[in-house]
């Protein structure tokens, strides 16, 4: 069962209370029941609920997705960090820090991710950082969303935060010939020459916001303003593995051959995703990346070394 519901606005006396939604199963029937911490009462039936579109924005009476097993309402938290708690099915919880792509929001996501890893909360199976939110997968037989929310609120309410580790990677890239099929186009669109595009692309230290789309695909930012272009209007059916690409404010590397609509300006010989490694993805959210240009001869030598398992890009550990 998947149904979109929203809470009607609560009376003033209970407006600031936390209201949970749960269900009671009776045969094939599912009855709704809600609980208010203000009144300390459960109410069966759906008289306090109404169907309708999701309510956007951090306000009372937020939207929730009901999955038939019971989950808490999406709601703002009024602590020192502004977040919203959103249910994602019956075994996951999304903690949302905002609605835009920014280093500041992503830093908050990664701090919470590091705190959850350090504190090892009961029932937490996995965490998945994104640009602006953290998805926490949990075992409903060991914990429940309401308990998890209280524990996460406690972590968010603490001053400072745990120190997290990251890695600075120096990634070799060849920007020549067929290894950079869109380089000339990007140069024309930006008013630069190809060496100028390469120089700008290599001048930044990029932040890995998240992994997604493909196993190990890093969304990295932020591109210099001069290089920011919309995605291609005619996406390719096949993009070779290792292709270094740009689109909007981001740059990325295709870890495997796949369709893709970003502009391909170079190729790296390194292997971003290898299921035989203890950690299959080479990069992790929060890592930093510097691109270093190499010529075609060096690229071929590095590619042979990678194929033989004899090369890993230079890197160093960081504590942030």
pLDDT digits (tens, 9 = 90+) for 52-72: 333 333 333 333 333 333 344
The angle formed by the CA atoms of residues 166, 276 and 169, to the nearest 5 degrees, is 25
Question: Residue 46's Cα: distance from chain center in Å?
Answer: 35
Integer Cα distance of 313 and 73 in angstroms = 45
> If pLDDT is split at 50, 70 and 90, which confidence band does 158 have?
confident
pLDDT greater than 60 at residue 125 = yes
* Interval 159-210: pLDDT, tens: 555 678 899 999 999 999 999 999 999 999 999 999 999 999 999 999 999 9
Closest among 265, 235, 83 to 157, alpha carbons compared: 83
CA 250 vs CA 157, 166, 227, 289, 298: distances in Å: 32, 19, 9, 12, 26
Q: Quick one: pLDDT at residue 161? A: 59
pLDDT greater than 70 at residue 80 = no
More confident residue, 55 or 131: 131
DSSP string, 146-187: HHHHHHHHHHHTSSS----EEEEEEEEEB-SGGGSTTHHHHH
More confident residue, 75 or 95: 95
Q: What does the mean pLDDT of the chain come to?
A: 81
Return the number of other C-beta atoms located less than 10 Å from residue 315's C-beta.
16
Q: Quick one: pLDDT at residue 119? A: 93
pLDDT greater than 90 at residue 131 = yes
Q: Quick one: pLDDT at residue 7? A: 34
Q: Quick one: pLDDT at residue 163? A: 75
pLDDT greater than 50 at residue 140 = yes
Q: Quick one: pLDDT at residue 42? A: 42
Integer Cα distance of 269 and 242 in angstroms = 6
pLDDT greater than 60 at residue 144 = yes
Integer Cα distance of 154 and 259 in angstroms = 43
Q: Quick one: pLDDT at residue 159? A: 54
pLDDT greater than 60 at residue 319 = yes
Mean pLDDT of 131-157: 94
- Set out the domains of the chain in order of their start, with CATH numbers: 3-156 (3.30.1360.40), 165-319 (2.40.100.10)
* Interval 249-273: pLDDT, tens: 999 999 999 999 999 999 999 999 9
> Residue length, the chain?
320
Closest among 206, 205, 209 to 109, alpha carbons compared: 209
Whether pTM > 0.95 for this model: the answer is no
> If pLDDT is split at 50, 70 and 90, which confidence band does 136 have?
very high
């Amino acid at each position: 069962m998947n149904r979109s519901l929203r809470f009607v606005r609560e009376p003033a006396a209970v407006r600031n209370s936390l209201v949970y939604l749960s269900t009671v199963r009776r045969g094939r029937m599912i009855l709704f029941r809600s609980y208010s911490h203000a009144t300390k009462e459960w109410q069966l039936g759906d008289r306090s609920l109404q169907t309708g579109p999701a309510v956007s924005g951090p306000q009372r009476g937020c939207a929730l997705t009901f999955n038939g097993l019971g989950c808490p309402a999406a709601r703002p938290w009024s602590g020192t960090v502004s977040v919203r708690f959103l249910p994602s099915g019956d075994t996951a919880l999304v903690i949302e820090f905002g609605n835009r792509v920014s280093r500041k929001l992503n830093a908050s996501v990664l701090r919470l991710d590091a705190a959850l890893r350090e504190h090892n909360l009961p029932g937490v199976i996995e965490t998945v950082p994104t640009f602006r939110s953290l998805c926490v997968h949990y075992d409903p037989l060991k914990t429940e969303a309401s308990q998890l929310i209280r524990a996460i609120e406690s972590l968010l309410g603490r001053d400072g935060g745990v120190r997290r580790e990251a890695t600075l990677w120096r990634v070799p890239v060849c920007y020549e010939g067929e290894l950079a099929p869109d380089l000339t186009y990007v140069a024309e669109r930006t008013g630069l020459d190809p060496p100028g595009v390469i120089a700008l692309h290599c001048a930044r230290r990029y932040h890995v916001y998240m992994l997604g789309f493909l196993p190990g695909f890093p969304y990295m930012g932020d591109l210099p303003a001069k290089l920011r272009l919309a995605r291609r209007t005619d996406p390719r059916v096949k993009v070779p593995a290792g292709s270094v690409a740009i689109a909007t404010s981001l740059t990325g590397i295709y870890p495997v051959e796949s369709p893709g609509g970003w502009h391909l300006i170079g190729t790296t010989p390194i292997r971003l995703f290898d299921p035989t490694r203890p950690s299959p993805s080479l990069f992790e959210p929060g890592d930093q990346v510097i691109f270093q240009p190499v010529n075609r001869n060096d690229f071929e030598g590095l590619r042979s070394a990678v194929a033989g398992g004899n090369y890993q890009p230079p890197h160093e550990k960081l504590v942030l």
